[in-house]
Copies of this chain bind each other. A is one copy, B any other.
Amino acid sequence: MLRISKLTDYSIVILVFMAKDGNSLTSRQISEGSNIPLSTVSKVLKSLTRKDILCSTRGATGGYTLAKIPKKTSVAEIVAAMEGPLAITECSDTEHATCSEEHTCPLKSHWNHINLAVKSALRSVTLQDLLSPIPSYTVNAVTSPYTNIS
């Protein structure tokens, strides 16, 4: 339902935890601090490291640190790191045989536009923003008029 995966959700929680701590942390420490199983934490940390959101130090006294200051890491980057390049539709990243149909191809540019809008929405929120517990914007009032459409 156009929903991020649980691992992506975990990655946000983990990154917020790490940003608040500030120090280099082992996967075990992060697991205990965030109440997420060690194996799962490990998986998430490795994905984030591969995408240069985290830095890792191997060997004894090793661990993970943020690769950049929280303000420089956007939610879009985190989602992309965990779920691959942001592509709302299938034809955005893979070639499809039926895409050569006359009626579907004109839609592609529109999907790209929608895709871009979603991407910029995710890019507008940084890890730094997620550190402050209470945001300034109010959401509930804006969401309600869209629930019932006649």
Contacts and interface: CB of A to CB of B under 8 A. Distances in A.
Interface of A: 1-4, 6, 9, 12-13, 16-17, 34-35, 51-52, 75-77, 79, 83-90, 98, 101, 103-104, 106-107, 109-110, 112-125, 129-130, 132-135, 137, 139-140, 142-143, 146-147, 149-150
Chain A at the B interface: SS class: helix
Given A103-B17, A125-B110, A130-B110, A90 B9 contact: yes
Contact of A86 (B1, B76, B132): B1
A13 B77 CA distance: 30
Copies held by the complex: 2
7 contacts: A2-B87, A9-B90, A75-B114, A106-B133, A110-B135, A112-B143, A117-B121
A135 to B, nearest CB: 5
A103 B139 contact: no
Contact of A9 (B75, B89, B129): B89
